Structure 1
Amino acid sequence: MLFAISFIWSLHIAGISERDLVNQGGWNLVWRFVVAAIHPELSREFLLLTLNASLKTLAYAVCSTFFSILIGLIAGVLSSEVWWSIGNNQTPWLFGRGILAFPRAIHELIWGLFLINIFGLDPLVAILAIAIPFGAITAKVFSEILDETPRQPLLALLNSGASPFSAFVYGLFPQAFPNLLSYSFYRFECSIRSAAVLGIIGAGGLGYQLLLSLQSLRYEQMWTLLGALIILSGSTDFGCTWLRDRWGLPSRLDLNVLNFQQHRKLLQRDSVFISILAAIILFIFSFWYVQADFSKLWQVRSYERLATIIQIALPPNTSQLNQLFTLATRTLAMSILAIASAGFGGIILAFLAARNFVLPQGILSDATKSSQLHLTFLRWGVLLCTRFFLLFIRAVPEPIWALIFLFVLFPGILPGAIALGLHNLGILGRLMAEVVENLDQRPLRSLQAAGATNPQVFLYGVLPSTFPRFFAYILYRWEVCMRATVIVGIVGAGGLGRLLTEQLSSFDYNSLLTTLIVFVILTFIVDLISASVRKTLR
């Protein structure tokens, strides 16, 4: 009931009942954009430019993922309950999680705009802008994984006289390692998308070239760049999925239930050595390619600029609280509309993108028809088309989607909500398809053995097993949607994001601090609602 009320309220805030929503003159631009897909820009000079932008986006993602995991591992251990419970001290882990809540509430694009004022236009800005919030998010997830890991081996080592550190390293960490590794792969996939988004602030890469081509209406170039971004995102997704399958890590976000021990012989033979060697080569290449000036981190000049900004920002300007409240409600409505459309579409497409649901010999396949060749081709066609569609819409950054929809929709939260909804639909559809593929087959086989029809197996076996995870993912992405309202606001979708950008560009740090406080409070409210509902779903 609360969701239905909030959804209707969000539609009202978006002005869905108003007549002047569609700009009829923009359809010509949309048609030109679609037609340009037939003949993308394939000149040698532009292909070299696209290759350079792709490598830069990949290098940013690799460097930022490295620091995110490093921050997440250290802060995750220090903010975990189990680490402090060894010493019978419960207070520090709560304090640690409270500190981590602030950096992860602010989107990486805002971090980038802020860090530019300190370090200038340096590749270091893009790396830190992703590493800081992603490191805080990774720390939160890592701490939850450590807290949910069985503690019997840890307690056995402590009772046998082992030191707390040794008991933690040898008793708890080996059990949690598969899940930490699986989430690290997922964080790398997210870094690819964030590295593309940061191109909007001038960091270079595919996102920057996409924005230039869209603003100059060079749609043929846009499709070439979009193709490169899809290839980069798709190959990253495929590579990470292949490694997780080889290592018995079927899930990105959930705790992996497969026994990691049974894959150790396979890992020792080939996968570990090759993967470590490839990772080292990729790290060395990425840090060399971006040419970031890390010496700025300890230069006195950088700290002087930071101190000046803090001095100017205090005390915060509270003269615009009424405007901030109005914009906060619009931002919240944008996030609700986005996640509602993404969640509904993700649930539908998840089953069409799941191998064990669509392909022959799947969950609901008919043995009498599974051998028919034309049905096999049809099933493969549905699977591949659905997966490509999900890959395409999640590979395109949200600001690019927002700019495209602003061709035919007047500025407001509606184009921003549609852009966020499309992008998150691609992510949710893939995550939910993974849930379907990891279903425990035993209850389903029991229902079929008892004579249940395919619709009954779906209603009483598949849906009860998948819907709790579906809703948990939707709530998790709602938190991300809330943060991402900033980046669509920058390009004219309204909300607090547009105001934050104006305040940053005009160096109005007093008002900026107030807007950031309101935005962080709003993000915390969404986070608390999401966490409480997800807790009941467990």
Structure 2
Amino acid sequence: MLSYPTVRTSLIFLTIALVGLLFADIAITANNPWRDLGNFFLGVLTPNFFSSEGLLTALLRTVAFAFVGVTVGAICGFLLALVYRFLPVRIFCAFIRAIHELFWALIFLQFFGFHPLTGVLAIAIPYSGIFAKVYSEILEEADPEPGRLLPPGTGTIAAFLYTKIPDCWVQLRTYTAYRLECGLRSSAILGFVGLPTLGFYLETSFSQGMYSDAGAMLILFYVLIATIPLWVKPKLLPVYILGAPFFLGDGLPIVWGNVERFFTQDIVPSPLRDDEGLSGLLPWLNELMIEQALPGIWNTVILTQIALVATGILALLAFPLISNHFGGPIRRTSGHVFLVIARSTPEYILAYILLQLWGPSMLPAVVALALHNGGIIGHLIGRQTNTIRLRSDAPHGFNRYGWELVPRIYRAFLAFLFYRWEIIMRETAILGILGIYTLGFYVDSAIQSIRFDQAMVLILITAMLNIGVDILGRFIRRKLALQTMPTC
């Protein structure tokens, strides 16, 4: 049976989302959305794989940016994990992972331009913070018994290499492989800010109404993700890692004077640059908060809460699609295909496609966030139900779903959902670049207007908001005695 605290918490979040709908801009504003949607699906069914000479190059660069960014992030994250117990390190890691890859890319574009270093650092920096957090938790859970069996006088480094690493190697390798898949998604969406990855050609095709070209790019991306176990082999990893930098492409030479000016002048609040002091800084901050930060925070929180609940509902509806307790092999295979597509497509790409088809509002963002995150949680919960053994006289149909399975997996479901909460918040903020009035919209507007000082303040606010949600999610998981780090 479900406990009272879990039911009460679920109802509280459901109520918040329903109230949020009263303030949300949920509408389809396109003139003929169903015709556009039909044209899009027709383009997917009739893909044009020979439309662009640069398509293969974009695919290779998408893979190259992912490998280099994830490799650098994993190395830095592992080193940070070794000292993660220190509070300043935890704060630093929480800060860098709270800023989305696209925000990092927008920052580096201002002084590195369209240089490969922009894309590599945009992936590596937030991934370093993520790797540090997860690697440290994996290492903390290592069995201490092998360490007690070492002979006296064994050095710390030797003890670490001979005890903790072998015990944690499978978990470290599995999570790193998962992060590589995430890195491919991050690399693809970097094209939306101008880097030569798959997202650049996808945006170009959509903006010109070439749906068959866009369909071909999406199919190639799905094939790339789905075949990772086939082409990412341990023996080939050194080849990929050493060869990837040569496929990043070339960029204009970095002008280090621009880097210096960015950090010493551009991001310094304009009242301080103009020697107005605190008397000018406080009104500047007050105007920024009232006109941009507070509206952005309000819309970001509303959209996040609606998307969080929509994600939960979709996950609960989706897990029977792959559960052995429902349907036959054909239905489960179809369910697997649907969930693979849903969780493999980055939220940003989903939202971009739906915005082109339905027009600008929060609805495309809610659907995109729910489909991607609901696909992930539905897949994990569905796999978990396959380990549950029901008695021979267990009910069938909806009674099996509602009375046998949901009560058994609901706590794990909530653990996954609250673990994804901070991730949904990060994505919600960045979706503002597409024209939705979240914090990302105001960040992008400030950058386009060459007001980098305002953009940096808004990015800092975004990071603090994400950190706050992460802390709140951890608190709720502890109060409900859920898994602090759900097993993926």
| TM-score, structure 1 normalization | 0.78
Shift of 1:156: 4.8
1:336 aligns with 2:299: no
Conserved? CA contact 1:352–1:383, under 8 Å: yes
Structure 1 residue corresponding to 2:365, chosen from 396, 410, 416: 416
Structure 1 residue corresponding to 2:245, chosen from 282, 287, 291: 287
1:28 aligns with 2:27: no
Match of residue 41 from structure 1: 48
Distance 1:537 1:212, change over 3 A: same
Structure 2 residue corresponding to 1:386, chosen from 335, 351, 366: 335
Distance 1:204 1:436, change over 3 A: farther
133-142 or 510-519, which moves further after superposition?
510-519
Q: Identity of counterpart residues, as a percentage?
A: 26
- What does the per-residue CA deviation read over 1:467-519, in whole Å, with 9 as the maximum and x for residues that have no partner? 32222221122211111113321111221111111111222122223212321
Distance 1:408 1:228, change over 3 A: closer
Conserved? CA contact 2:318–2:375, under 8 Å: no
Rounded to whole Å, the distance in 1 between the matches of 2:266 and 2:330 is 55
Match of residue 319 from structure 1: 287
1:57 aligns with 2:26: no
Structure 2 residue corresponding to 1:537, chosen from 474, 482, 488: 482
1:510 aligns with 2:453: yes
Structure 1 letter corresponding to 2:13: F
Match of residue 525 from structure 1: 468
Rounded to whole Å, the distance in 2 between the matches of 1:488 and 1:470 is 25
- What does the per-residue CA deviation read over 1:421-479, in whole Å, with 9 as the maximum and x for residues that have no partner? 22222333333334334x3x5xx26x44xx55567876676445533222222112221
Rounded to whole Å, the distance in 2 between the matches of 1:457 and 1:392 is 27
1:141 aligns with 2:134: yes
Q: RMSD in angstroms over aligned alpha carbons? A: 2.8
Match of residue 179 from structure 2: 187
Conserved? CA contact 1:350–1:432, under 8 Å: yes
Rounded to whole Å, the distance in 2 between the matches of 1:164 and 1:107 is 36
Structure 2 residue corresponding to 1:205, chosen from 179, 197, 200: 197
Rounded to whole Å, the distance in 2 between the matches of 1:423 and 1:413 is 16
Structure 2 letter corresponding to 1:67: V
Structure 2 residue corresponding to 1:104, chosen from 86, 89, 97: 97
Distance 1:479 1:436, change over 3 A: same
Shift of 1:525: 1.8
1:116 aligns with 2:109: yes
1:309 aligns with 2:245: no
Rounded to whole Å, the distance in 1 between the matches of 2:365 and 2:406 is 31
1:13 aligns with 2:26: no
Shift of 1:218: 1.0
Shift of 1:98: 1.0
| TM-score, structure 2 normalization | 0.85
Q: Which residues in structure 2 correspond to 1:452-491 (within 5 Å)?
A: 452=394, 462-491=405-434
Rounded to whole Å, the distance in 2 between the matches of 1:42 and 1:108 is 28
- What does the per-residue CA deviation read over 1:205-235, in whole Å, with 9 as the maximum and x for residues that have no partner? 2111000011111111111111111111111
Conserved? CA contact 1:414–1:493, under 8 Å: no
Match of residue 492 from structure 1: 435
Structure 2 letter corresponding to 1:116: L
Structure 1 letter corresponding to 2:183: S
Distance 1:288 1:140, change over 3 A: same
Structure 1 letter corresponding to 2:79: I
Shift of 1:301: 6.0
1:433 aligns with 2:382: yes
Distance 1:52 1:490, change over 3 A: same
Structure 1 letter corresponding to 2:126: P
Conserved? CA contact 2:267–2:453, under 8 Å: no
Structure 1 letter corresponding to 2:302: A
- What does the per-residue CA deviation read over 1:29-49, in whole Å, with 9 as the maximum and x for residues that have no partner? 223223333432243x53x43
Conserved? CA contact 1:341–1:421, under 8 Å: yes
Match of residue 160 from structure 1: 152
**Uncovered stretches (5+) of structure 2, i.e. residues with no partner:** 1-10, 273-280, 484-488
Conserved? CA contact 2:189–2:197, under 8 Å: no
Structure 2 residue corresponding to 1:70, chosen from 66, 75, 88: 75
Shift of 1:146: 1.4
Conserved? CA contact 2:114–2:251, under 8 Å: no
Conserved? CA contact 1:103–1:136, under 8 Å: yes
Rounded to whole Å, the distance in 1 between the matches of 2:403 and 2:44 is 44
Shift of 1:333: 1.2
Distance 1:454 1:38, change over 3 A: closer
Shift of 1:95: 2.0
